[in-house]
Chain A
């Protein structure tokens, strides 16, 4: 059969296949140096292709070309971001590294949390697939991050989601949002991982490019950490999990064409991978069992770039050589070519390195869980990654050149000329409301798309499974108990106000860090480590590259000031529609630890019999540039974001940790978008309880809606006010008494300003998403 005989309707992959064509082998490649190759269609530049030829001393085979093109893609190689990301390493001090067991470059960062426990956490993007196919894109985003955590030797215990969509009432949002949420729900809920929080924002810049980031936390004994390395010559490489199919081929390479090697027009299955959550669930349990039994030397998940990535990364992190036989790989479709098998992103697969004497035991565990598992190769001392297919050698490369020696770009970056005008256009000239309008404004903002309750989304996620969830949405941070046998807990929060990042990416990223840090502190936990998911437009745009560089520097410098390390991260570029980039969206995740989860602080006051007073911790300035008020009322974005005060955040965190330990605070909520007004509405509604307050002078509008940072609203039992005041004094923490919790009066009374019923607040805050999405 010739290639012209291929049909384009072979979507099942079961009929005509490339097995009928002579495959491109290393011998053939050496003998036909001038054969034209579609490297440009695979996203490789002329100089990159030339470099591959020079590394190999010949032209690459089709399979090698597929491997290099996908591993040297932006997504896998970080070629545009690498030079900037190095700044994280340069700025991390030994003191910050003290509790870090694994950092940037591993599947996920790992930190010690005490009592012999360690935690691992990471956030990853799955933006583009989620726009093309919202359900599967989001579902496999969850699957991928969970396998990253698993590959560190940890049991995944909780997930979070950071979502950004176009305007809530836009037609396409009605397609994308319910699909994304259903995908996270359908996949995540099947895994037995509590969903403990996340964020949802709406902005026009995401209309053609939604952001779907997924986070996961895992726990492990500090002594049980695994890494992705293949060492020990003669050790076996076991591929286990789902079969390898034609789905997700080329999914990670932005410019990947529909076909490889010019072998005809065989249609691939959807380029967005299809998830099977049941297969993932048994893969998790099976993997944890082989860990427990001590059967594994090294382990790697199969995510972006599939076997290309797993084999080259394992080999280059180990003794440097590996031999793999693709004929052993269980396939879903017949006649897949070597390039297809190596590039497939079929989900729910892992690769383990196992000593020969433990192979039988490993396979037995897989059999118990009905997980397909085969030995596909072994570690060698040749320094080469040699892959054969149908008895012929189709890949023979130095593995590091695939996995780590990809191109590094020093792309031009330049502060856009428009930035000055953007910052000059402050909110100072916007009309501010009269005092009698403030009550209505509180309700209007509470109902706005970014401030409204997100229960329509989060109620589709299981937050209870495994019984260790101590706090979940809508708390400021999610919190899980590490294990039944300990009172040790982990808190996680993630944040990014992309409007602030647009006004000043350096400061905006520090504000994201500050807010995530504060959210963790609000729960009573002590912040410990940082991860990130940096979502930006095209790196080929010098303005975007400038935003990116500013964001990295802002985050790294901020972490130095706070004394906590960045342990990992993810970069997603090319988030734009045509020439229009998304708002720079550097999502920052902070992990914290608490000795005793029973001391956690939630957002609900008025639950006990003791009378409580409300205090505002921190100082309020007139800071409304980039605020939700400016956006909702005036459709305005301009000026400079609120001042960053990391020393103040640290002080606040110290106060909250001690207040939690001493039981001085019954409820707390951080102030962020929407300011004090929004915090009051949320606390009252969540508590099903009223409050009566007096605003600090001079300006009630500023007091209610300013978005000054380093502020937390707390409820303190009246019997403990003395101790609390003393604690604030000791820390030099500014604090002002606002008023009282009023369990018998279900209203928010703001003296001289307004008096709103709980029912009005609940309807405004809770009604928006159900009205839009049913």
Chain B
């Protein structure tokens, strides 16, 4: 079967081409989705890419969360469609209340672009299953990170609930780059199908252009899951 992975382009999206490339690299058919069009074009999963949607002039991701395409994504996600938000996409998912918490200005207040180690905290999701097979679970992965507003915050209650429900997907390892609470780099829904993270796995799929290929696992995991469903 052909797996179709949709990538949304908002005005101000930047890493949409990178997400489309990652989809192609793992053998999916990349499908561009336009912010003003509510039609999800029958895709099997959606990636909300990095960037500064609508300039992020209100709060990062706040306007994008209200876009026509997002109303469809929210409905589909509640129906089980795998959705991944990367960086600005993570901010959009929080603003859309598909994930709890918020991303605020980095501690230190500066934009940071660095290669960051992460630990994969949960591998039983459609987005992270490959990390269980390929890596010893304690081995951290190296993924670029680049943002000014990536400090994950949530109420203590929410944080405790996330931990209790095993919904922390990634934690920063070897130093917390932005002051995120409990070193959280990425989280997911209870069933693991809706995931968001600040680092950019789509920038770590080729050693020529990234720090390595540790990001590939997220897209390969999705493929395993979708092809598994089909068969």
A: residues with CB less than 8 A from B are 182, 185-186, 189-192, 276-279, 281-282, 285, 369-370, 459-470, 481, 484, 597-598, 774
Contact = CB atoms under 8 A, between A and B. Distances in A.
A185 B57 CA distance: 16
A276 B11 CA distance: 13
Interface string B138-153: 0000001010100000
A281 B12 contact: yes
Interface stretch (B91-99, B121-129, B202-210, B218-226): B202-210
A465 to B, nearest CB: 5
Contacts of B12: 190, 278, 281-282
Contacts of A484: 21
B214 interface: no
B113 A459 contact: yes
B27 interface: no
Interface size class of B (residues with CB under 8 A): 20 to 34
B217 interface: no
Q: Which of B11, B18, B50, B113 has the most CB of A within 10 A?
A: B113
B17 interface: yes
A466 B22 CA distance: 11
Contacts of B208: 470, 481, 597-598
B209 A277 contact: no
Nearest to A600: B208
Q: Which of B108, B148, B202 has the most CB of A within 10 A?
A: B148
A43 B110 CA distance: 40
A278 B55 contact: yes
A467 B54 CA distance: 22
Interface of B: 11-12, 14-15, 17-18, 21, 50-52, 54-57, 108, 110-114, 144, 146, 148, 200, 202-203, 206, 208-210
A461 B110 CA distance: 10
A173 B202 CA distance: 37
Contact of A467 (B112, B113, B209): B209
A279 B55 CA distance: 8
The 9 closest A-B pairs by CB, nearest first: A278-B55, A192-B14, A464-B203, A467-B18, A185-B111, A460-B111, A190-B52, A462-B146, A282-B11
Contacts of A276: 55
A774 B110 CA distance: 10
Contacts of B18: 464-467
A429 to B, nearest CB: 44
A464 B55 contact: no
A285 B113 CA distance: 24
Given A277-B55, A465-B18, A467-B18, A481 B209 contact: yes
A461 B113 contact: yes
Contacts of B113: 459-464
B209 A465 contact: no
Given A276-B55, A278-B57, A464-B209, 12 more contacts: A182-B111, A185-B110, A185-B111, A277-B55, A278-B56, A281-B52, A282-B12, A460-B111, A461-B113, A462-B113, A481-B209, A484-B21
B112 A460 contact: yes
A466 B112 contact: no
A192 B51 contact: yes
B60 to A, nearest CB: 12
Given A464-B203, A467-B17, A189 B54 contact: no
Contacts of A459: 112-114
B198 to A, nearest CB: 13
A468 B209 contact: yes
A192 B51 CA distance: 8
A246 to B, nearest CB: 21
Nearest to B108: A774
Contacts of B21: 467, 484
Contact of B11 (A281, A466, A467, A774): A281
A341 to B, nearest CB: 25
B145 to A, nearest CB: 10
Nearest to B14: A192
Contacts of A466: 14-15, 17-18
28 contacts: A182-B111, A185-B110, A185-B148, A190-B12, A190-B14, A190-B55, A191-B14, A277-B55, A278-B12, A278-B52, A282-B11, A369-B11, A459-B114, A460-B110, A460-B111, A463-B113, A464-B18, A464-B144, A464-B200, A464-B209, A465-B14, A465-B50, A466-B17, A467-B21, A467-B203, A467-B206, A481-B209, A598-B208
Q: Which of A276, A279, A464, A466 has the most CB of B within 10 A?
A: A464
Contacts of B54: 278
A628 to B, nearest CB: 27
B87 to A, nearest CB: 10
B212 to A, nearest CB: 11
A278 B11 contact: yes
A662 B112 CA distance: 36
A462 B108 CA distance: 17
A189 B145 CA distance: 13
Contacts of A464: 18, 113, 144, 146, 200, 203, 209-210
Nearest to B203: A464
B202 A467 contact: yes
